[in-house]
């Protein structure tokens, strides 16, 4: 089988060290050894989220993490504001409605994010108990300025819930410092672990709402389990926790600042290479994410043909979602992705575009990318 470069915005490449951890014999989830490893994993997650508050780790996807996060911050009858910068804003709105909240959705055109002044204007018109938004929306590759938005929301007395599924582990998050009350992610993106784990973090001092209308998303019982797995309510995904622990150790060895610098460099390199080929990026420059890049397909190139030809050459890309379906393709560059991976991807894209009839000068995108990588020292 062809060796693939997994260049999607999730799942992402998993290092062999992490994969080997998954093959360890499964321990009892209430054993002292696993309890200690679980506690260590939570401590490292807190460092990645930038909080000294409590962290919940349980089996599930990013969507499961989102539901627990929303239920922990939003109650029935409350009026909340969702900032929609892409398809996944709809997920947040749906989750808030499911708990009986009254939801207003503010929308921007694809490629734009929200600024502090925009949120200030929205909050001056009405009173909201919470503001919910994505750090990075993978459908548009837009990154919202979390610190600025959180500051405005808190000044208006609103709780802040941030979807960090496509950012945590690849872009800086300082929950306690910035005033983010609840943030969540999944294991399969910038944390570079296989899918299957949901993570919700709470700001230090934030008291999550107890929701008795749900069985699985019982935050009180889940928090008790985080104190010790002997209090288990949901059976931990033992081997996935092994893998996440190893991946977090790798993150700590790399250093958070260096990891964020690497993600920024790879993003700038990918984006420079694509623009050198004459392609239009979806996200406007002030809002470009460091973990994923969405690109408009050039005229005459169909997504399915691009996907098939790139995959035949060993590179897995992602297509568009929602209103951008069939109009864009997306490249993930997060987690364990390195400079060689993005360079190989750009070389394949150049050849595929040429084959599909889009006029490109072979090597032009790669040259632009190499210049950026060299400038950053990669």
Which of 233, 254, 275 delimits the end of a domain? 254
The label of the residue with tokens 């992402």 reads: 12
Query: What mean pLDDT is predicted for residues 171-193?
Result: 98
The label of the residue with tokens 């999607």 reads: 8
The label of the residue with tokens 């969540």 reads: 184
Q: Are residues 275 and 161 in the same domain?
A: no
Helix (H) or strand (E) holding 359: none
Exposed (0-12), middle (13-18) or buried (19+): which is 278, by Cβ within 10 Å?
middle
Q: Are residues 217 and 265 in the same domain?
A: no
**Structure confidence by residue, pLDDT tens digits, 68-77:** 999 999 999 9
CA atoms of 152 and 218, how far apart (whole Å): 30
Q: Are residues 129 and 230 in the same domain?
A: yes
Exposed (0-12), middle (13-18) or buried (19+): which is 113, by Cβ within 10 Å?
buried
Please give the structure tokens belonging to residue 248.
């977090």
**Structure confidence by residue, pLDDT tens digits, 267-294:** 999 999 999 999 999 999 999 999 999 9
Residue 302 in contact with residue 271, Cβ under 8 Å?
no
Q: Are residues 242 and 266 in the same domain?
A: no
**Structure confidence by residue, pLDDT tens digits, 144-181:** 999 999 999 999 999 999 999 999 999 999 999 999 99
The label of the residue with tokens 């499961």 reads: 64
Please count the other Cβ atoms lying within 10 Å of the Cβ belonging to residue 277: 20
> How high is the pLDDT of residue 375?
97
3-state secondary structure of 29: coil
Domain of residue 211, CATH code: 3.40.640.10
Q: Are residues 261 and 182 in the same domain?
A: no
Look at the chain and report how many structural domains it folds into: 2
> How high is the pLDDT of residue 102?
98
Q: Are residues 286 and 262 in the same domain?
A: yes
Does position 343 have pLDDT exceeding 60, yes or no? yes
Does position 120 have pLDDT exceeding 50, yes or no? yes
Q: Are residues 184 and 282 in the same domain?
A: no
Q: What letter does residue 103 receive in the DSSP assignment? A: E
Which of 254, 281, 313 delimits the end of a domain? 254
Q: Are residues 45 and 104 in the same domain?
A: yes
Percentage of the chain exceeding pLDDT 70: 99
> How high is the pLDDT of residue 3?
78
**Cα radius of gyration (the chain):** 21
> How high is the pLDDT of residue 158?
98
Query: What mean pLDDT is predicted for residues 186-209?
Result: 98
Percentage of the chain exceeding pLDDT 90: 98
Domain of residue 301, CATH code: 3.90.1150.10
CA atoms of 188 and 198, how far apart (whole Å): 9
Tell me how many degrees the CA angle 158-95-83 measures, rounded to the nearest 5: 50
Q: Are residues 208 and 318 in the same domain?
A: no
303-321 burial, b for 16+ CB within 10 Å, e for fewer?
beebbebbeebebebbbbb
Query: What mean pLDDT is predicted for residues 290-301?
Result: 97
CA atoms of 134 and 117, how far apart (whole Å): 17
Question: Residue 176: CB partners within 8 Å, gap ≥ 6?
Answer: 50, 51, 52, 53, 203, 204
Does position 239 have pLDDT exceeding 50, yes or no? yes
Q: Are residues 65 and 184 in the same domain?
A: yes
Q: Are residues 348 and 215 in the same domain?
A: no
| φ/ψ of residue 215, rounded to 5 | -95, -55
CA atoms of 155 and 311, how far apart (whole Å): 48
Q: What residue numbers bound the domain in which 129 lies? A: 16-254
> How high is the pLDDT of residue 198?
98
Q: Are residues 153 and 211 in the same domain?
A: yes
Q: What letter does residue 281 receive in the DSSP assignment? A: B
Does position 1 have pLDDT exceeding 70, yes or no? no
Give CA separation, 364 vs 11, 333, 372, in Å.
29, 20, 13
Task: Grade residue 187 by pLDDT with cuts at 50, 70 and 90.
Answer: very high
Query: What single string gives the DSSP state of each residue in 314-343?
Result: TEE-EE--GGGTTTEEEEE--TT--HHHHH
CA atoms of 369 and 377, how far apart (whole Å): 12
Exposed (0-12), middle (13-18) or buried (19+): which is 231, by Cβ within 10 Å?
middle
Peptide bond into 11 cis (omega under 30): yes
Query: What mean pLDDT is predicted for residues 326-330?
Result: 98
Nearest to 336 by CA among 246, 275, 217, 276: 246
| φ/ψ of residue 185, rounded to 5 | -155, 180
> How high is the pLDDT of residue 2?
65
Which of 238, 254, 270 delimits the end of a domain? 254
């Amino acid at each position: 089988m062809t060796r693939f470069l997994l260049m999607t915005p999730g799942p992402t490449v998993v290092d062999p060290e992490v994969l080997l951890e998954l093959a360890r014999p499964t321990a009892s989830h209430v054993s002292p050894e696993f309890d200690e490893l679980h506690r260590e994993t939570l401590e490292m997650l807190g460092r990645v989220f930038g909080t000294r508050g409590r962290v919940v780790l349980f089996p599930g996807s990013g969507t499961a993490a989102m539901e627990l996060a929303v239920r922990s911050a939003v109650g029935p009858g409350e009026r909340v504001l969702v900032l929609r910068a892409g398809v996944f804003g709809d997920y947040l709105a749906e989750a808030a409605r499911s708990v009986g909240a009254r939801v207003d959705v503010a929308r921007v055109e694809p490629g734009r994010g929200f600024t502090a002044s925009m949120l200030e204007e929205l909050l001056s018109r009405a009173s909201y108990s919470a503001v919910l938004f994505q750090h990075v929306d993978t459908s548009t590759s837009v990154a919202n300025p979390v610190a600025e938005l959180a500051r405005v929301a808190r000044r208006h007395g609103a709780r802040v819930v941030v979807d960090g599924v496509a950012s945590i582990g690849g872009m800086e998050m300082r929950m306690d410092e910035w005033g983010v009350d609840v943030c969540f992610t999944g294991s399969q993106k910038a944390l570079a672990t296989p899918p299957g784990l949901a993570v919700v973090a709470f700001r230090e001092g934030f008291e999550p709402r107890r929701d008795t209308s749900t069985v699985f998303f019982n935050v009180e019982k889940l928090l008790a389990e985080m104190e010790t797995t002997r209090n288990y309510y949901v059976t931990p995904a033992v081997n996935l926790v092994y893998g996440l622990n190893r991946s977090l150790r790798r993150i700590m060895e790399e250093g958070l600042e260096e990891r964020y610098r690497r993600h920024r460099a790879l993003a700038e390199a990918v984006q420079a290479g694509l623009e050198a080929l004459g392609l239009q990026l979806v996200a406007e420059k002030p809002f470009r994410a460091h973990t994923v890049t969405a690109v408009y397909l050039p005229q005459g190139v169909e997504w399915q043909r691009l996907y098939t030809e790139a995959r035949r050459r060993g590179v897995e890309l992602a297509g568009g979602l929602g209103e951008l379906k069939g109009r864009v393709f997306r490249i993930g560059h997060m987690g364990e992705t390195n400079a060689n991976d993005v360079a190989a991807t750009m070389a394949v894209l150049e050849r595929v575009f040429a084959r599909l009839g889009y006029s490109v000068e072979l090597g032009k995108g790669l040259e632009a990318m190499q210049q950026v990588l060299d400038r950053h020292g990669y």
